């Protein structure tokens, strides 16, 4: 049985691995603005041209430490590593930190086990057996709801229960892999019958993906106080959405073909331990209903939220040909955007006895902040396509066009802590078949 989060050192506890003065013998890890300093140490799966079998690595600067080659693990199965109890995961992080720190006696042995990230092909970070997508941003839910229900945008259950639906794990793809525009049925309001064809309202969704570590037995709920012991870490996640297909199919059972054609995940999993310096209070507006007891603990209120800056960028095909950099569409922060904490998602998901397993993915749902420039989808940014975005090169966008590349980036920074990054999740739209 897990020890409650309130009663022992845990993933929200600072230790020597977070020391802002810590430096690595991998020089690139010490550069200002680096996503992967020694205080981060995210996990991922990769292969190289000389060895096509996926193996486990840890990002450090612009390099990857091959964990099996370095003798840190004796297998290449990320899900086995994720299933370790939290104390063992913390010990592994400490070992990696000590071995990669300046002056470490392991430098000579580990240096040959480094691979340049530019020479590696990254994979989906683990085997994802099941995927649940939530709807945690009240700002996103309100803005989208207004497009359909101007007088009552939020449904009555929203502020009481973390809303989610079961997604399709088989179509989750790694960052950088292009995907095809989906086809499906659509029915404009003025049409008598639906038609089949390519989606004309293809959208992005700025999300975070929370990956499960140790699971739970069927019929055994995870208490909120224990929930973070079952979370391994976080990735960037883009749940591509065909809004026109969604609008026709979603009643009465919710999204189907509008969501299951592709979802892009970033390759690096930033662990819960690495996020410890960026914890913050979880607070509800005073007039909103407070969570039911099974979704409420003093620890969750005190430090259940995490400050993660999130950015959406767009590079059109014309911009790419001209050598122009992507343009920012959105900048927000998870702590402003999310109405529920990661621990609450785990507790609610299992309150009925549902069994989670190592590698299961919990999507946050679109994370939109309160400001107009903090929206996590084009559906919000363009008012459902009524207000086209004017890009710097003169192009306009309401929804994504063929050849567009959409990029998500994320990072954590706070005074007194070293900035860490989540890397990026990118995908390019190919024409429908």
Question: Is 140 a catalytic site residue?
Answer: yes
Peptide bond into 116 cis (omega under 30): no
> Within a 13 Å sphere around the CA of 232, how many CA atoms are in the beta-carbon half?
32
Q: Are 234 and 386 in contact (CB under 8 A)?
A: no
In whole angstroms, what is the distance from residue 386 CA to residue 394 CA?
18
Beta pairing, strands 263-265 & 172-174: parallel
Q: Quick count: other Cβ atoms within 10 Å of Cβ 85? A: 12
110-134: b (≥16 Cβ within 10 Å) or e: beebbbebeebebbbbbebebbbbb
Exactly one of 139, 140, 230, 349 is catalytic; name it.
Answer: 140
Q: How far is CA 296 from CA 50, 93, 226, 257, in A?
A: 50, 29, 12, 35
E strand spans, 33-119: 43-48, 51-60, 63-66, 114-116
Q: Are 279 and 306 in contact (CB under 8 A)?
A: yes
In whole angstroms, what is the distance from residue 79 CA to residue 129 CA?
10
If you ran DSSP here, which 8-state letter would residue 38 be given?
T
In whole angstroms, what is the distance from residue 19 CA to residue 29 CA?
14
Q: Helix H segments across 236-316?
A: 243-249, 298-303
Residue 210 burial by CB count (10 A; 0-12/13-18/19+): exposed, middle or buried? buried
Instruction: Tokens for 142, please give them.
Output: 């309100």
Residues forming the active site: 140
């Amino acid at each position: 049985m897990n020890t409650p989060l309130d009663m022992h050192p845990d993933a929200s506890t600072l230790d020597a691995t977070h020391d802002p003065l810590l430096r690595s013998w991998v020089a690139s890890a010490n550069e200002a603005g680096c996503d992967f300093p020694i205080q981060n140490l995210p996990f991922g799966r990769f292969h190289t041209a000389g060895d096509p079998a996926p193996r486990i690595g840890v990002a450090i600067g612009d390099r990857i430490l091959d964990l099996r080659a370095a003798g840190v693990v004796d297998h290449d199965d990320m899900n086995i590593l994720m299933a370790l109890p939290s104390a063992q995961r913390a010990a592994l992080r400490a070992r990696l930190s000590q071995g990669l720190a300046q002056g470490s006696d392991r430098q000579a042995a580990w240096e040959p086990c480094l691979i340049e990230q530019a020479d590696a092909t990254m994979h989906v970070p683990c085997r994802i057996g099941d995927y649940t997508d939530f709807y945690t941003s009240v700002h996103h839910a309100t803005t989208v709801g207004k497009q359909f229900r101007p007088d009552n945008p939020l449904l009555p259950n929203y502020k009481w229960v973390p809303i989610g639906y079961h997604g399709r794990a088989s179509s989750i793809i790694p960052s950088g892999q292009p995907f095809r525009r989906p086809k499906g049925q659509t029915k404009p309001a003025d049409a008598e019958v639906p038609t089949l064809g390519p989606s004309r309202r293809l959208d992005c969704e700025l999300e975070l993906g929370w990956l499960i570590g140790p699971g739970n037995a069927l019929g055994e709920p995870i208490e909120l106080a224990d929930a973070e012991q079952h979370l391994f870490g976080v990735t960037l996640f883009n749940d591509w959405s065909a809004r026109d297909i969604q609008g026709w199919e979603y009643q009465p059972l919710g999204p189907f073909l509008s969501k299951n054609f592709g979802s892009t995940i970033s390759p690096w999993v930033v662990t819960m331990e690495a996020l410890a310096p960026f914890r913050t209070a979880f607070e509800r507006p005073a007039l909103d209903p407070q969570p039911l007891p099974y979704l409420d603990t003093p620890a969750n209120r005190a430090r259940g939220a995490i400050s993660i800056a999130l950015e959406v960028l767009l590079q059109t095909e014309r911009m790419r040909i001209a050598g122009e950099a992507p343009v920012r569409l959105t900048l927000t922060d998870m702590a402003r955007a999310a109405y529920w904490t990661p621990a609450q998602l785990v507790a609610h998901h299992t309150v009925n006895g549902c069994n989670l397993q190592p590698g299961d993915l919990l999507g946050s749902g679109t994370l939109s902040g309160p400001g107009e420039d903090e929206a996590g989808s084009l559906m919000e940014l363009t008012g459902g396509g009524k207000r086209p975005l004017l890009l710097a090169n003169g192009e306009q966008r309401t929804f994504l066009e063929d050849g567009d590349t959409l990029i998500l980036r994320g990072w954590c920074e706070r005074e007194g802590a070293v900035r860490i990054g989540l890397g990026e999740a990118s995908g390019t739209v190919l024409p429908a078949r």
